[in-house]
Structure 1
């Protein structure tokens, strides 16, 4: 039985690896639905048709209108990566102005296993709200891969490999215990 993974991404450089991550998740047996913040969708606008073809689902970055049918199957898990400081803080504060933040905020209440992996540089990480948001999301039951065993902040402008395999493995672990 195939499980459905909602893969959500914010506008941080690792979002450009969405196609590779979708392939990796599909190789692990997931049916993947891709959701993006509006800025991330703009960054990937030229790739959206290929990403939709790859997943077999429309890429979503906006809420549907009331009464419109849901075009995605029900989520068995959500992976929100990369998560920017803006998305992380909006989520922890339940500021649901964007589709992906609305879904993950509601997902907590629905008991959907959620894994998040921030992508913030050390300048953003120095702001106390980032650590507060991570703590609050963990307290709500979200697996946040940050620090040892997850994403560690880099210097502004520095690029390091983003630990996608760690995130996908954490999703599998979260669903195995759900």
Structure 2
């Protein structure tokens, strides 16, 4: 017998002045150093923001600058038992940039990093998630990618419409729409 999934989390109505909390899951990609654009836009749209990076994603950014911008530490490793939680619970999650590796592992339920563990658990909790894929056309042609996107859609993940760039170009920086994650999550924000 298959165990029942936990009931989806119903966010509590927003208290007067309460600002919802957004986790930004950051993956290793050439454009990761532009994540401050997403953070600033989210903050302008009333979100408080915390960043959870894949281990390699953390190497792509200036963690101190992100911490100064958000007021929270950039997380990339599990905390030790008994240590306080450094971030409030998420009201929503934006995965940006969402790399080929992260998309495929996440869709398969592989939780070998803190970022992936949070994404895998968020589905069972019912936290709204938007993902902005960022990969090249050769990666996008792999059959696992289409299967992973289909599974994530069935899980309720809101996917951005990024067109893969050409291999070995590092392209797509100008066409990557960071704010699209927030646009996809706007209906969830209205329910908070």
Structure with more relative contact order (C-alpha pairs < 8 Å, separation 6 or more): 2
Match among 52, 74, 77 for residue 35 of structure 1: 52
The size of the alignment, in residue pairs, is: 172
TM score, norm. by length of structure 2: 0.85
2:186 is aligned to 172
Match among 1, 14, 26 for residue 31 of structure 2: 14
Range moving further from structure 2, 102-111 or 16-25: 16-25
- 1:141 maps to 2:141: no
Q: What is the CA-CA distance between 1:154 and the residue it aligns to?
A: 1.5
2:164 is aligned to 153
TM score, norm. by length of structure 1: 0.92
- 1:25 maps to 2:42: yes
SS of alignment partner, residue 31 of structure 2: helix
Q: Deviations over 1:84-115 (max 9, x none)?
A: 11100110111101011000110000000011
Matches within 5 A, 1:41-52: 41-44=58-61, 47-52=62-67
The 1:177–1:80 alpha-carbon spacing in structure 2 relative to 1, beyond 3 Å, is same
Q: What is the CA-CA distance between 1:26 and the residue it aligns to?
A: 0.4
SS of alignment partner, residue 174 of structure 1: helix
CA contact (8 A) 1:5 1:32 kept: yes
Q: What is the CA-CA distance between 1:14 and the residue it aligns to?
A: 2.1
The 1:177–1:132 alpha-carbon spacing in structure 2 relative to 1, beyond 3 Å, is farther
SS of alignment partner, residue 170 of structure 1: helix
The 1:50–1:7 alpha-carbon spacing in structure 2 relative to 1, beyond 3 Å, is same
Q: Which has the larger radius of gyration?
A: 2
CA contact (8 A) 2:37 2:178 kept: no
CA contact (8 A) 2:20 2:189 kept: no
How far, CA to CA, are the matches of 1:69 and 1:90 in structure 2?
Answer: 28
RMSD: 1.3
Range moving further from structure 2, 129-138 or 168-177: 168-177
SS of alignment partner, residue 48 of structure 2: strand
How far, CA to CA, are the matches of 1:78 and 1:119 in structure 2?
Answer: 16
How far, CA to CA, are the matches of 1:143 and 1:97 in structure 2?
Answer: 23
For structure 2, which runs of at least 5 residues remain unmatched after alignment? 1-17
How far, CA to CA, are the matches of 1:13 and 1:168 in structure 2?
Answer: 21
